[in-house]
C-alpha cells in the first residue's frame, strides 16, 4: 500500500491527513493556518510531513489550496485570504523542503475531483460542482476531465454578473448575492447592523425564530442561487450539478433550491434542472487533492 501526505489549506485552518491510494484516511487532523510568512507556512507543512515519514513510507505530497493554481508551474495566481502564497513557486519550495513529489490544485477543483473519483459524480462524465462559502467557487468536469480554462478561471462561477450591471458600476456578482458572504452582507444591510456579528448559521436561526426580514433575505438568496444554477445548466447541459460547502448540509437546503428551480419554466419538454448535495463534506478537498496527485503523477511517469 502506498501512503500520501495530503493538505487542505484554508484561510483560517489547514486540514491534513495521511491517506492511502484508495482515498482512505489513516490519520487526520488540523491546525491554524500560519499568518506571518510563507517561510512559516512551508515549515509547518514540512514538519507535519516529517512526522508522517517517521512511521510510514510517504510517496508524495498533495495539496488543495485557494487561488488560480497553475498545476504545471506550481505558481498560484489570483488572490486569496493568504497573500503570501501568490507569486512564489509553492510547488518547488515544498519539494525542496520535503524531498517528495508535490502536486497542487485549486480547492474548489479538488472538491469536484473528489466527487468524480469516488463520490456523487463517479458514474457520470459531465458535471458541475458549485461550492458555497464566503464566495462561490466550483469545478467544470467534461468527459471526466477537469477544465481549467486559458487563465485558470474555469469554474469561478462567483464572478458572474447577476444584477445592476447596467448601472455605472460593475454590478452585483453571483458571490455578492448568492454566497454565504453575500447573504451576510444583504442581511446586515437590511437590518442596519455590522456584518461581522453575523454568520450563515446565525442568519438561519434568526429566520427560524420568526424574523420576517431575515426570512425574506434568505428567500431572495435561494432564488438568486437557483437562477445561477439554471443559467449554468443551459450553458453546459451537464449530467449532474452538485452543491458543496458547509451550508449545503443544512437540513432542507438542497431541497429548497430544487423547489425554486421547479418554479422556473423550461421550454424543451422533459428538461429538468436539479441539484444534488456533494457527498464528502469537509473531506472533499483532501480526497480531491489526492486524486489530482495520483492522476498527475501517473501522466508524468
Domains 3-110+282-300 and 123-278 share a fold: yes
What percentage of the chain reaches a pLDDT higher than 90?
84
Q: Give the CATH architecture of domain 123-278.
A: 2-Layer Sandwich (3.30)
Domain spanning 3-110+282-300: which CATH class is it, in words? alpha beta
Alpha helices in 37-179 (DSSP H): 38-55, 90-98, 107-118, 174-178
pLDDT at 225: 97
d(CA 55, CA 168): 60
User: Where in the chain are the domains?
Assistant: 3-110+282-300, 123-278
Assess whether pLDDT exceeds 80 at residue 4: yes
3-state secondary structure of 137: strand
User: DSSP string spanning 18-66?
Assistant: EEETTS-EEEEEEEEPP-S-HHHHHHHHHHHHHHHHHHS-EEEEEEEES
State the pTM of this model: 0.91
For residue 75, CA distances in Å to 85, 104, 111, 168, 255 come to: 8, 9, 20, 35, 39
Given a cut of 90, is residue 131 above it in pLDDT?
A: yes
**CA 116, CA 118: separation in Å to the nearest integer?**
6
How far is the C-alpha of 91 from the C-alpha of 113, rounded, in Å? Answer: 20
What would the pLDDT profile of 221-265 be if each residue is shown by its tens digit? 999 999 999 999 999 999 999 999 989 999 999 999 999 998 887
Using the predicted structure, report yes or no on whether residue 299 has a pLDDT greater than 70: no
**pLDDT over 60 at 203, yes or no:** yes
Amino acid at each position: 500500500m502506498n501512503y500520501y501526505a495530503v493538505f487542505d489549506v484554508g484561510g483560517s485552518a489547514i486540514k491534513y491527513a495521511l491517506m492511502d491510494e484508495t482515498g482512505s484516511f489513516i490519520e487526520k487532523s488540523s491546525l491554524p493556518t500560519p499568518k506571518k510568512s510563507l517561510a512559516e507556512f512551508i515549515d509547518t507543512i514540512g514538519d507535519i510531513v516529517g512526522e508522517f515519514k517517521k512511521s510510514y513510507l510517504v510517496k508524495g505530497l498533495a495539496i488543495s489550496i485557494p487561488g488560480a493554481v497553475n498545476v504545471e508551474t506550481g505558481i498560484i495566481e489570483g488572490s486569496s485570504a493568504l497573500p503570501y502564497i501568490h507569486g512564489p513557486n509553492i510547488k518547488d519550495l515544498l519539494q525542496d523542503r520535503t524531498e517528495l513529489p508535490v502536486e497542487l490544485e485549486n480547492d474548489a477543483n479538488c472538491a469536484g475531483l473528489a466527487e468524480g473519483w469516488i463520490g456523487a459524480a463517479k458514474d457520470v462524465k459531465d458535471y458541475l460542482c458549485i461550492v458555497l462559502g464566503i464566495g462561490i467557487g466550483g469545478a467544470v468536469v467534461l468527459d471526466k476531465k477537469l477544465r481549467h480554462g486559458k487563465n485558470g478561471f474555469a469554474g469561478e462561477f462567483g464572478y458572474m454578473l447577476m444584477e445592476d450591471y447596467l448601472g455605472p458600476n460593475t454590478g452585483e456578482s453571483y458571490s455578492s448575492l448568492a454566497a454565504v458572504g453575500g447573504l451576510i452582507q444583504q442581511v446586515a444591510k437590511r437590518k442596519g447592523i455590522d456584518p461581522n456579528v453575523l454568520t450563515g448559521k446565525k442568519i438561519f436561526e434568526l429566520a427560524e425564530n420568526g424574523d420576517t426580514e431575515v426570512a425574506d433575505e434568505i428567500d431572495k438568496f435561494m432564488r438568486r442561487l437557483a437562477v445561477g444554477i439554471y443559467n449554468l445548466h443551459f450553458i453546459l447541459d451537464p449530467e449532474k450539478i452538485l452543491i458543496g460547502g458547509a451550508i449545503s448540509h443544512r437540513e432542507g437546503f438542497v431541497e429548497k433550491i430544487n423547489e425554486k428551480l421547479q418554479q422556473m419554466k423550461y421550454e424543451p419538454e422533459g428538461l429538468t434542472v436539479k441539484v444534488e448535495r456533494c457527498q464528502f463534506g469537509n473531506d472533499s478537498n483532501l480526497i480531491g487533492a489526492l486524486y489530482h496527485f495520483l492522476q498527475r503523477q501517473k501522466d508524468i511517469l
